[in-house]
Structures are given as structure tokens and as C-alpha cells.
Structure 1
């Protein structure tokens, strides 16, 4: 029973170490990705500085840098916590090995003392001859042989434990050095974050000197966002209404067919004609989900879309999120809300469908295009496109190019806006897309 408990304990320890290692690897991978994104944003920001113009693009880049910098600091905090756990575990291992080593040395010293006192051949012979019978003499002879072997094994145990202790101490020192380096990196990132926030405040102050231009840009941008949201909502609502109409027609067709068959059967059997079928229940009383999943194809698309949650491809091949999903406050103190993601990408980048579906909307919104695609009960919306290569009613496949992202001529920004809806409800795209 003790053996099985020991095996179970070792398996638990191995699983914990494996999970921790995976977590540590993931944190390091994410930190490397954050460093890459921050370097790209810094290059973009330096480019705007060289133009000697304070612009909304600078402000947008600074905001994205601050968000990524904060995420990197949180990432470092998680790494430090992992290392603290490793240091604590290593300290426990060192103490345990040191205790084992002390006990082994103590036992070995006792054996050496015993061997010294009984080292003469005479004493060994007397020990054997003092046996009561042959069986006892044989056991004493085996004992003397096993004692010598055990003493050698104890010496090997001591050497092995000393080596393991040395390895653990070196491992502990390396972990402490890694933690110190992380803490230095964290301090550096906090200082950089402070500088970026100072630059943000200064830039807002500089932009406020051009309040008229800034307000006009913000007003135009807000108007475009409102118009885009209205177009997306109209497209989704129209698609839901169309799905309800199709569902009602299908129910009515089935009811009429059932009534026709019942009448034909009654006539063949010389029975009275059956009563008229009850009126079809309006599809408006059914849930949006059941209406959008009324056909086998739509239900399959919905299940496949849901099954790929967390692994769907990004709408652009390369990009950095500059504004996330949900309510946020601008540096000017304006409270706003985003139904999706603003993704900065390279000029001329293709925008791609993230899943199989059918295009239900293509529309020009203030000089750029909007595309809405239905995937069963889910919808995806892609806006701020310079051009499109699909049409309403066209079926598209995963990663198929549907257009090219637009570049703002006044700021030089190339950003695509992307949204996901379940029915008419917007959901956070970041939890649906694969890790970037």
C-alpha cells in the first residue's frame, strides 16, 4: 500500500512540474510576442515623430503601446510568481536532501565504528563459532557479507546525494538569477510605461491646441462608427427576419402537405374530410437561435463555428490590436464602447473571412466598405475596407480574401475593424480567435 501511495505522489509531482513548465513556456512565448508588437509600434511612433506633427495616429499608437506594456508587466508578474514557486520548491528539495545526507553520514559513521571494533579476523571467527547451530552460523556469515555490501552501498548513496544536492543548489541559484533579471526588466518596463503616459498627456495637450481639427476628426470618426453599427445591425435584423419568413413558409408548406395527405386518405377510405389544419404558429414566437438554425446546413455551420472557438483565424495575416472589445475611456476622457477589435496591419493587407459562410451585406460606409457574413446563427463583420472582392449572396470559405484594408490618408493608419455576433448580440472576438 505504501508503494502505491509513493507512486501516486510521484505522479502528482510530475504532473505539477509539467503543468508549471507549460505555463512558463507559454508566458515566455507571449512575452516574446509582446516584445515584437511593442517594437513594431515603437517604429510606427518614431515615424510619426519624424513628421513633426502631433496627430491622432500618434495618440492611437501610444494608447496601443500602453495597453501592450501593461500586459507585458502582468506577464512578467506571472513569470515571477512561477519562479517564486520554483524557488520555494527548490529550497524544500535542498533542505530535504541535506537532511537525507546528514542521516546517511550519521548511519555510515556508526557502521564504520562498528567495523573498526570488529575488524580482526579473530572477532569474526568468534562471532561465527558462538552460534548455537549451523543454521545460525550460516545466517551470521551472510550478515557479515551483507554488512560489507550495505556499507559500500551507503557510501555510494552519500556520493549520489551530494551530487544531487549540488545540482539542486546550482538550479536554485540559476532560478534566483532569472528572477532578479525579470525584476530588473519589470522595473524598466514600468519606467517606460510612465514615460509613455507622460507623452500621452503631452500629446493630448498639443492636440487640444488644434481643438477644431481634432473635434472634426473625432466627429467624423464617431459618425462613421455609428453608421457602420447601424448597417451591421440592419443586415443582421434583415437576415433574422428573412430566416423567420422562410421558417413560416416551411411550416405552412408542411401543414398544407399533411392536410392534403389526410384528405386523400379520408376520401380513399370513404370517411368524412378532416377538419381544416390549425393556422401556422408565427415564427416570431420562436427564438432567434432556433430560427437561424432551422436548416441542417445552418445548424452544422453554427456547431462548427462554436467548435472552433479559440482557434478561428484572424481576419488579417498580421496585425496588432489597438482597441479591444467593450467599454473604454479615451485619453481625452470620452467614454465610448467598441463592439469588436481595431487591428493595425500593413498597408495593402488582405482581409479574410474567418470561417465558411454566406455574404449578406456589402456596403459603402463614408468612403470605405463593410462586409457582413452569416455562419449559421453567428455573424462576422469586416469594416474599413478599401475595396471588396465578394458580393451579397456569395458563399465564402475560411481564409478567403474578401477585400483589402483601407489606409487613412490623413494619418497614414491602416486599420481593419472586426466584429462577431451571436444572433444580434456582439461578443468579444478575442476569445474566438486563435492566439496571435
Structure 2
């Protein structure tokens, strides 16, 4: 019976260990999603209503819906783990309660036997009636064993009671966690409904502006073409080939490459609202948009270099927005949609050093940064390079 009790506790501890790994990963993921969702909420709240009904505002709304969907999925997984934990705790508690009943019955019998031999005359007669010395020793051992078993059972019962109290307390805690989680999930579901209503409103508004959307696509395509041309010019000007890199640039290039997946973000806090590659236009059916990088909504207007390098180009677009191209050996990082540039061509910059800024904070406009990474003529997905 004691072994069953031990196995039940060990099984529970093993399950807790396995669950804790998955649960901790889920909590980390949940917190990151909530953080990103709050950042997008703040970005929308700080944006004027005329800007909310823009394509940029729709990008933020779409990203917000995507985050909320992912968050609800994580909350469902968390609820499932909590439910499994509670069920296992209940099963363990049932096993312990059965064990406690059996221990008490066993203990009662031991008490009765011990009382029988504890009385002085019984104990004396028990020892004196031994046929020989060996039998006397065996009786002494038997009596001692009864007393030891009684004490051990008493201790085991106390430990089992403590374990049962702990199980009951843990079950109560899990029920409270599930209640809190259900409340949070319901709030997120309501929030998602409101966000989707906002999305539908923006889509209806933008569908009446098809001409302006087409013009915006042409402007965006022209900007993308201009940035690409400038990068290719920089490659030609610097004769960007690995064998012709100076030792310093070769080292920077090597270090940049070795930091794949660990580069800092170009803004201190941001959320990707438009991904790398070919994506469908959020409003116009059948229209594809080619993103050479990603677009990041930020709560701050400060833009910083993601790695040590040298400013290769500063471009002023017809729209008035500026673009900075920073060279990192055979790699380039590109920062667009800037309102202000704080570096010059040829200037060396350090990791996280400010290179420019987006809209002024007081302008209440969407701070969306265009960010690209190139390796010579190859466009790279920035999400594979910056830390997650």
C-alpha cells in the first residue's frame, strides 16, 4: 500500500514536470502576444480617426486580429493544460484518500496489538513464557517491530494528511486559475468581435477609394524600385564581392552572418504588420503586393541600426520620406518611411545607434517603419534575422 502511495506521488510529480515545461512556454508566448496586442492598441489609440481609416490603419487592425486569434488559441491550450492538471490532482487525491483509509485501519490494528503487549503483566508473561533464550530474543524483536511499525504508520498517516491538504489547496488554486483564464478569454473574444467590426468599417471606407488605393500601390512600387536601384548602385560602387572586402568589412560581414536570429529590432518596441514576400492586397481582390522586407508598427519614433556598419546611402523619395541604407560588409540593412535622418553617408554606426526617426510623436500618425535586409543582390526575410 505504501508503494502505491509513493507511485501515485511520483507519477504526479512527473506529470507536473512535463506540464511545467509546456505551461511555461505557453505563458511566455501568451505574455508576448498580449504585449504586442497592447502595443497595437496603443498605436491605434494614438492615431487620429482620419488615419485609422487608412491602409496603414487596416494593416494594424489586421495584425491585431491575427494576434488575438493566436492569443485565443494559446488560452485554449493553457485551459486544456490546467484542466488536465486538475483532473490528475483529483485522481491523485482519490488515491491518497483510499490509502489514508487503509493506513488508518492498519494503524488501528497495530494499536490494538501494541496495547495488548504494553500492559506490564502481559509483556512480562510474554517474555517469561519463552521456552528458551532464542525464543525470548525473537519475542523481543517481534515486540520492538510492532512498536516501530506503529510509529512509522503514525508518521506515514501524518505525511499523507499533509499531502492531501496540499493536493486540495492546489486543486483550489487550479480552479481559481481556470476561472481567471475563462474571464480573460471571454474578454479577448469580445475584444476580437469589436476589432473585426472596426476592420469591416475600414474595409467599407477604403473600398470607396479604389482610385486612391491604386495610386498608393503605384507610389509604393516606385519607392520599392528606387530603393532596389540604390542598393544595386551601392553594390557596383563598392565592388561588393566577398574576395574584395577589406579585413574590417569581412569581419563585420562574418559577425553579421553569425548573429542571424539574434539581431536587435530596428525600433525598441514594435509589431510586424506586413510580412516579407508576396502578399495579397488587403482590399483590392486579385492584386498582389511584393514586400522586399517587413513593415513594423512602433510605439516610438526612434529608428536604430541593427548592427555595426557604415551608412552607404541616404535617399529622399518624391513623397518626402527618407531611406537609409547601412552596409555591413556584404550585407545591407534598409530603413524607410523616415521623417528625419540623423546620420550622413560614410558615417560609421554602432549596433542600436539612432540613425533617424519616423513621424513626430505629436503628429498622431502611424509610425510604420519599412525594414529590409539584403545580402548582395539577394533579398532576405528580416524575421529570420532579428530576435524573436
Range class of TM-score, shorter chain = 0.7 to 0.9
**Aligned partners of 2:217, 2:240: CA distance in 1, in Å?**
37
Q: 1:330 aligns with which of 244, 262, 281?
A: 281
Residues 236 and 183 of structure 1: CA distance in aligned 2, closer, same or farther (over 3 Å)? farther
Seen in structure 2, the aligned counterparts of structure 1 residues 32 and 308 have a Cα distance that, compared at 3 Å, is same
User: Under a length normalisation based on structure 1, what TM-score does the superposition of the two structures give?
Assistant: 0.74
What is the alpha-carbon distance in structure 2 between the residues aligned to residue 93 and residue 291 of structure 1? Answer: 67
> CA separation in 1, counterparts of 2:86 and 2:132?
58
Q: Given the alignment, which residue of 311, 318, 328 partners 2:269?
A: 318
Task: Tell which has more relative contact order, 1 or 2 (C-alpha 8 A, sep 6+).
Answer: 2
**Gapped runs of 5+ residues in structure 2?**
1-6
Which residue is equivalent to 2:370? 417
Partner residue of 2:125?
126
Q: 1:44 aligns with which of 39, 43, 46?
A: 46
**Structural RMSD (CA):** 3.6
1:343-397 Cα distance to aligned partner (Å, 9 max, x none)? 22357x2321111122232222332222222323432111112232333333221
Relative to 1, partners in 2 of residues 1:214 and 1:21: Cα closer, same or farther, differing over 3 Å?
Answer: closer
Cα distance in 2 between the residues matched to 1:229 and 1:85:
53
Aligned match of 2:151: 152
Matches within 5 A, 1:34-433: 34-44=36-46, 47-48=48-49, 54-118=53-117, 120-232=119-231, 234-235=232-233, 237-238=235-236, 242-244=239-241, 291=243, 296-332=247-283, 333=285, 334-346=287-299, 349-366=301-318, 367-406=320-359, 412-433=365-386
Q: Given that residues 269 and 298 in structure 2 are in contact (C-alpha distance below 8 angstroms), is that contact kept between their aligned partners in structure 1?
A: yes
Indicate the structure (1 or 2) with the bigger Cα radius of gyration. 1
Q: Is the 1:359–1:396 Cα contact (8 Å) retained in structure 2?
A: yes
Which whole-Å CA distance do the structure 1 matches of 2:23 and 2:51 have between them? 47
Stretches of 4+ aligned residues off by more than 6 angstroms: 8-14, 407-411
**Any idea what the Cα deviations from partners look like across 1:125-158, whole Å, max 9, x if unmatched?**
3332343543542443244234224313312221
Deviation of 1:316 (Å): 1.7
Offset from partner CA, 1:97-129 (integer Å, 9 cap, x none): 334324422432332343355454333233323
Structure-2 separation of matches of 1:291 and 1:52 = 48
Q: What's the TM-score once normalised by structure 2's chain length?
A: 0.82
Instruction: Give the Å deviation of 1:200.
Output: 1.8
- Whether contact under 8 Å (2:373, 2:380) holds in the other structure is yes
SS at match of 1:379: strand
Determine if contact 2:279/2:288 at 8 Å carries over to the other structure. Answer: yes
CA distance in 1, matches of 2:80, 2:229: 46
Q: Is the 8 A contact 2:338 2:358 kept in 1?
A: yes
* Contact 1:406/1:416 (8 A) holds in 2: no
CA 416–191 in structure 1, closer or farther in 2 if over 3 Å, else same: same
Specify the alignment match of 2:387 in structure 1.
Answer: 434
Partners of 1:53 and 1:355 lie apart in 2 by 33
SS of residue matched to 1:238:
helix
Report the counterpart of residue 21 of structure 2 in structure 1: 19
Q: Is the 8 A contact 2:93 2:168 kept in 1?
A: yes
Kept in 1, the 8 Å contact 2:40–2:297? The answer is: no
Q: What SS does the aligned partner of 2:240 have?
A: helix
How far apart, CA to CA, are the structure 2 residues paired with 1:125 and 1:409? 98
Q: 1:213 to 1:299 in 2, by over 3 A?
A: closer
CA distance in 2, matches of 1:371, 1:434: 21
Q: 1:155 to 1:411 in 2, by over 3 A?
A: closer
Distance 1:132 1:210 in 2: 112
Seen in structure 2, the aligned counterparts of structure 1 residues 315 and 54 have a Cα distance that, compared at 3 Å, is closer
The number of equivalent residue pairs is 378
CA contact (8 A) 2:58 2:202 kept: yes
